[in-house]
Chain A
Amino acid sequence: MTTNPAPAGAPPAPEPAETDNRRDFLMKVGIGAGVVALVGQAGASLRSLVPNVSYDAPTTVKLGLPGDFPDGLKFLPDQRLFVFRDGRTFHAISAVCTHLGCTVRAEALSRTEEKEVAGKPLRITHRFLCPCHGSKYKGDGANESGPAPKPLAWYELSLAADDGQLVVDLAHEVGHDFRLTLA
């Protein structure tokens, strides 16, 4: 605000002596630098709002021993995840609607059906309904109707090396042909 340099070549001082010019220039540099510094300090204040550490839950989570999962579906609210078990085979589908992120609800089918999903057999026991805008998904996560733009995500399951618990990696989406089959 305090700098309003007169147009170049039109110094306000009536006598344009050499020393006066240099003095004037230095003052302008100082005042201008102050303004730049103030802008820098404002920028620093904004930078402070970018989080440097994460308080989010970790993306790799131990879910429990595979034997503790019931046959069919188990919903894990903490991870917003459906874990499906068919005998010794597991797969996990996200419960986060691909439209705007609400948690979809699983609805059991009156009749389970076996079908090929991505070239591998899959037992379909449920379908999914989103409470927010009515998106519907098939049992393999494929979007069927409503505003959902794409299928529900599938996440990688694995067994923990140390205690054999089922581990989900919520940062790692996998294709619909993913099955974890225990030996």
Chain B
Amino acid sequence: MEQRTDSPYPRRDRPVLAVIGALLVVSTVVFAVTDHRKDWRYYQATFRQMVAEKLGAEKAAQIPSGTVQIWVPQLGRADRCITCHQGVAWKGFETADEPYRTHPAAPLKAHPIEKFGCTACHGGQGWAVDADPAHGPVEHWEDPVLGKALGEAYSLATDDKAALMQMNCNVCHRYDRETKGADLINRGKALVNAKGCRACHVINGRGGTIGPDLTWVGDKAPEQYDMSRLSGQRTAFAWHVAHLKDPRSLVPDTVMPNFSFGTQDAQALATLVLSWRRAPTAVDYRPGVARTDPQTPEEVAEEQRMKTGPGAWFVKTGCFVCHSISSLGVKSAAQIGPDLSTAVEDTQKRFGKTVDDFLKNPTGTMSVVLSRQIVLTDAEKDVAIQKLREAFAEHQRQAAGAPGTAVPGAPPRP
């Protein structure tokens, strides 16, 4: 037997190694179990059961399982709310308890869920899939769900305790005079005009400079408020409510007058004021933003004239896209086709057909247009022929030097 050095270590150390092995197993089990125990598993199972009872097992099988999200790249929002709130798009759960309730249909019409997600309107933390961090208020997430619970915490004086959510409506709707469904905000906006806040404050880029500019005041960090004289909740919202009710109680040397606002008015204004924040929204999310080329007043007036004048039928039908009808004061922007004032004569010359025949059996470009873009019934075609005759008659009258009778206010023509 070769020499072997004795060692005391195996007997001492191998049990230690075994204990460490056991610890590793424990930690692995603990994190695997922790990761598996999520609120949403319970909610999904319950909803599945509800659907199975109410609508049958077949419908229940359609419910997606696992974490789901609505990803809105334009808003940078990934909202996992529908992981638990699975009933949002299901009819028949209008009276169910949250998180299974059907979402009211009306607001979703203008704000499709796939374009807006959930948190853009409701607030809360869309990233989270556990109830507490998702709804807040929670540390390190300053955007809690603006729902009933929060409204009740503020003793909101309105009937709708979830009215704070309108704060988020007004991030996009801030330039509306009135927003349907946002009564608290509308009340605030009415007060801004009635009390003349703009005498001292710049609001939405317009107003006086005696008081601070309020255009983006909703973005002001909570710490920049002087909360030292505020009692109760220490939040920007509470500060504004108290300040609106009695400015001097919070800022002793302020020149802002005391308007003796009641609780409801003060809350309406505070909601409005906090909604004035920058939010990264693409242009097509903003209501009322012009998405056509601007028109001069003259152009608008002329368009109006053409729409209501004697040539209105040609405008309505769409003929004027290509054809002017100069005798009736209709001017085509494109002028691709011939002037229809003389169509009765012109058709015969061009196609060797009467207008009646041509409209019934068009050739060339008009055959395509009349079969695809402007599809007219026989009755409509009769109206067209009659209108064309009127236009020709007017043309002849004008050519004869008679003053135009049918074209009041038509632009002078050479």
- Supposing A53-B68, A71-B372, A87-B371 touch, asked if A26 and B21 sit within 8 A by C-beta, the answer is no
Which chain B residue has the least Cβ–Cβ distance from A39? B28
Q: Would you list which residues of chain B between 15 and 52 have a CB under 8 Å from chain A?
A: 15, 17-25, 27-28, 31-32
Q: Are A55 and B78 in contact (CB under 8 A)?
A: yes
Q: Find the residue from B22, B28, B69, B109 having the highest chain A CB count within 10 A.
A: B28
Q: Which residues of B contact A58 (CB under 8 A)?
A: 114
Cβ of B395 within 8 Å of any chain A Cβ, yes or no, is no
Which chain A residue has the least Cβ–Cβ distance from B105? A162
Q: Are B371 and A54 in contact (CB under 8 A)?
A: no
Cβ of A108 within 8 Å of any chain B Cβ, yes or no, is no
Contacts A34-B23, A35-B21, A44-B28 aside, 19 further interface pairs with beta carbons under 8 A come to A29-B18, A30-B17, A30-B18, A30-B20, A31-B14, A31-B17, A31-B18, A33-B25, A34-B24, A37-B21, A37-B27, A37-B28, A44-B31, A44-B32, A53-B68, A53-B71, A71-B373, A87-B372, A162-B109
Q: How far is the CB of A169 from chain B (nearest CB, A)?
A: 14
Q: List 27 A-B contacts (CB under 8 A).
A: A23-B15, A26-B18, A27-B15, A27-B17, A27-B18, A28-B18, A30-B15, A30-B18, A30-B21, A30-B22, A31-B14, A31-B18, A32-B21, A33-B21, A33-B22, A33-B25, A34-B17, A34-B22, A37-B21, A37-B25, A37-B28, A38-B24, A40-B28, A40-B32, A53-B67, A53-B80, A162-B109
Cβ of A145 within 8 Å of any chain B Cβ, yes or no, is no
Which chain B residue has the least Cβ–Cβ distance from A27? B18
Cβ of B66 within 8 Å of any chain A Cβ, yes or no, is yes
Cβ of A41 within 8 Å of any chain B Cβ, yes or no, is yes
Q: Which residues of B contact A36 (CB under 8 A)?
A: 25
Cβ of A2 within 8 Å of any chain B Cβ, yes or no, is yes
Q: Which residues of B contact A4 (CB under 8 A)?
A: none
Q: Is the interface of A mostly helix, strand, loop or mixed?
A: helix
Q: How far is the CB of A51 from chain B (nearest CB, A)?
A: 10
Q: Find the residue from B23, B25, B109 having the highest chain A CB count within 10 A.
A: B25
Q: Are A54 and B17 in contact (CB under 8 A)?
A: no
Contact of B21 among A31, A53, A55, A71 (CB under 8 A): A31
Which chain B residue has the least Cβ–Cβ distance from A23? B15
Q: Are B109 and A34 in contact (CB under 8 A)?
A: no
Q: Would you list which residues of chain B between 52 and 82 have a CB under 8 Å from chain A?
A: 66-69, 71, 78, 80
Q: Which residues of B contact A29 (CB under 8 A)?
A: 18
Q: How far is the CB of A181 from chain B (nearest CB, A)?
A: 14
Q: Are B14 and A27 in contact (CB under 8 A)?
A: yes
Q: Are A54 and B18 in contact (CB under 8 A)?
A: no
Q: Are B69 and A54 in contact (CB under 8 A)?
A: yes
| Cα–Cα, bound, A38→B71 (Å) | 35
| Cα–Cα, bound, A58→B20 (Å) | 48
Cβ of A52 within 8 Å of any chain B Cβ, yes or no, is yes
Q: Which residues of B contact A163 (CB under 8 A)?
A: 109
Q: How far is the CB of B8 from chain A (nearest CB, A)?
A: 14
Q: Which residues of A contact B22 (CB under 8 A)?
A: 30, 33-34
Q: Which residues of B contact A71 (CB under 8 A)?
A: 372-373
Return the CB mask of B1-23 against A: 1 if under 8 Å, else 0. Answer: 00000000000001101111111
Q: Which residues of A contact B109 (CB under 8 A)?
A: 162-163
Q: How far is the CB of A35 from chain B (nearest CB, A)?
A: 7
Q: Are A53 and B69 in contact (CB under 8 A)?
A: yes
Q: Would you list which residues of chain A between 1 and 37 have a CB under 8 Å from chain B?
A: 2, 23, 26-37
Q: Which residues of A contact B372 (CB under 8 A)?
A: 71, 87
Q: Are B28 and A41 in contact (CB under 8 A)?
A: yes
Q: Are B28 and A52 in contact (CB under 8 A)?
A: no
| Cα–Cα, bound, A34→B373 (Å) | 76
Q: How far is the CB of A15 from chain B (nearest CB, A)?
A: 13
| Cα–Cα, bound, A131→B14 (Å) | 66
Q: Are B69 and A34 in contact (CB under 8 A)?
A: no
Q: Are A34 and B78 in contact (CB under 8 A)?
A: no
Which chain A residue has the least Cβ–Cβ distance from B368? A71
Return the CB mask of A53-86 against B: 1 if under 8 Å, else 0. Answer: 1110010000000000001000000000000000
Q: Are A55 and B18 in contact (CB under 8 A)?
A: no
Q: Which residues of B contact A31 (CB under 8 A)?
A: 14, 17-18, 21
- Supposing A53-B80, A55-B78, A87-B372 touch, asked if A34 and B20 sit within 8 A by C-beta, the answer is yes
Q: How far is the CB of A14 from chain B (nearest CB, A)?
A: 12
Return the CB mask of B97-129 against A: 1 if under 8 Å, else 0. Answer: 000000000000100001000000000000000
